Structure 1
Amino acid sequence: MKKKILIFVTLLAFFGLTLAGCSNDKKSVAQEANTTDTWSSIKKRGRVIIGLDDTFVPMGFREKNGKLVGYDIDLAKAVFKQYGIKADFQPIDWNMKETELRNRTIDLIWNGYTITPARKKQLMFSRPYMANRQVLVTKTKDNITSFKGMKGKTLGAQISFSGASLLDEHPAMLKNYIKNKTPVLYDSFNNTLMDLDDKRIQGLLIDSVYAGYYISKEKDPSSYRVTRGGFTGEDFAAGMRKGDKTLKKKVDQGLQHLANTGELQQINKKWFGNSNNSLIKPEK
């Protein structure tokens, strides 16, 4: 009996040490992410690994031939080119992005990544470089220049975007003006533009990033008007480990340099035409 008790106690001690070791390993990974500056390692290997969701049009996505393209792809490449570093892009499970960053399988999250208070607790952000807001898209010839101009008119909104929920949260801004106080919901931006062209709807509430990209691909972008209202939005930035203070400094400086030289404006125009959501202006 005593022998069995001794074996049982030994096993408990073993498992206790094992669990403690696992806990310490997790703690050390988190501590390392918060305290280690990896810029010298990145510089030495000559490449930085950027995690992304490769289905996010137009920030980072695959063309039909499989080539990875997008606004953030061009922007990140241009930033690290200044330092002689190659930007490698690693598609990841977007739900695991912070874990991938903490475990150092990637160096950055750069893919239309929204700054939020919860995320700030886990990681560090670069300076915000793009604003994404809910905007009203109308036909220029209809001369609708404000949300109030939609009074009695039919509004379209996308099911999977935040526009529909914002209408309910702030009805006085737009919802109370539109016909029946109810939008027509769509699952495709292309379908909404077609209905807007065919006058089935007179306005569309949509993310400014999507609006700028898709309108720029139309035959006559000037036939559409984009009106900003009072809806709050979100800012995009690159996310990195809290210990990577040098990396943050380099990314921030690189973004400002692109704005100063005009290259940032060129990238914006390539992907969004005359629509400009950039938060970084050239220094005077």
Structure 2
Amino acid sequence: MERKALGAICACLLLLIVGIAGCTGTQTETPAATGSEKQTYIIGIDAEYPPYSYLDKDGNAIGFDVDSAKWIAEQQGFDVTFQPTAWDGIIPALQAGKIDMVYSGMTITKERQEKVNFSIPYWKVNQSVAIHDDTSVTMDDFYAGTLIIGAQRGTTGQIWVEENLIETGKMPAENLKLYDNFPLVATDLQNKRIDAAIYDTPPMLDAIADKPAHIIGEIDTGEEYGVAIRKSDVALLNTMNEGLEKLMNDPYWDELQDKWEM
């Protein structure tokens, strides 16, 4: 009788354990496990950089790069939001995890590659030099280092002047005036507080469109834009490279160029 009772108790315990295990297995399924929730990435942008990235009158991010990022996100199965960020602090913001990538006309440089990874190049651009309509400044004057030049802080325009005019001794360092954004540069050019401005060609055209200024020449820098991503985010880098390849081989790529008058 004692053995039968013990056997019955053991059988009951076994059924109870199996039942609990079975219940646990059916209750641990979550949206994350089934993949029903999309990953959202925060994209850092220069909010005053048309036609690549800027804000409309309602504060919404628009532009060539913004549309490109949205298309890639839809194709690759994730969501994106856009975070306007000061350009000279945008890579530190990326490294600190405040944003997940920089997709805003960022030139691929060796200095930046030491801090972040870049996607495959998606656009080529040169630097342009603009002056006030009332002056007779030439590109020879610019190359000679005799001008007061305005540039946005943290841009390749600043880097070019530093490397080619200041470090070579052609121009004193104080003749390079740096600004937090390029609209401030364009305003000082309009008011003749500087002799010339240097900036990427497409946004330069937009910035001076309503001002008494014009471009006098381009510097063939052969720059290439890429998407900047943290070095630790290898999977995201691969995803963006795949998305860029799809985009540049899709008819939508030509549509974007027409839309933003590239």
Q: TM-score, normalised by structure 1?
A: 0.53
Deviation string 1:209-231 (CA, Å, 9 cap, x unpaired) is 6424423xx2479x622522255
Q: Which amino acid aligns with 1:97?
A: L
Q: How does 1:5-84 map to 2 (within 5 A)?
A: 45=36, 47=38, 49-53=40-44, 56-58=47-49, 59-63=52-56, 65-81=58-74, 83=75
Deviation string 1:36-59 (CA, Å, 9 cap, x unpaired) is xxxxx9xx6585533223553225
2:94 matches 1:89? no
2:167 matches 1:170? no
Aligned equivalent of 2:214, options 221, 224, 248? 224
Q: How does 1:258-277 map to 2 (within 5 A)?
A: 258=250, 262-269=254-261, 276=262
Q: How does 1:86-235 map to 2 (within 5 A)?
A: 87-89=79-81, 91=83, 94=90, 95-98=92-95, 100=97, 106=100, 108-117=101-110, 124-131=117-124, 133-138=126-131, 147-150=139-142, 154-158=147-151, 160-162=153-155, 163-164=157-158, 166-171=160-165, 176=170, 183=175, 185=177, 187=179, 189-197=182-190, 201-208=194-201, 210-215=203-208, 218-219=209-210, 224-225=214-215, 227-229=217-219, 233=223, 235=225
Deviation string 1:216-250 (CA, Å, 9 cap, x unpaired) is xx2479x6225222557563325373235752453
Deviation string 1:20-75 (CA, Å, 9 cap, x unpaired) is xxxxxxxxxxxxxxxxxxxxx9xx65855332235532254554533233432211
Q: Which amino acid aligns with 2:121?
A: P
Q: Is residue 138–residue 196 contact of structure 1 (8 Å, CA) maintained in 2? A: yes
Q: Which amino acid aligns with 2:108?
A: I
The SS at the match of 1:51 is: strand
More strand by proportion, 1 or 2? 2
**2:243 alignment counterpart:** 251
The CA distance in 2 between the partners of 1:239 and 1:167, in whole Å, is 27
Unaligned runs of 5+ in 2: 1-31
Percent of matched pairs sharing the same residue: 16
Give the Å deviation of 1:76: 0.9
Unaligned runs of 5+ in 1: 1-40, 270-275, 277-284
Q: Which amino acid aligns with 1:250?
A: E
Q: TM-score, normalised by structure 2?
A: 0.57
Q: Which has the larger radius of gyration?
A: 2
Larger CA deviation: 245-254 vs 231-240: 231-240
The CA distance in 2 between the partners of 1:195 and 1:121, in whole Å, is 34
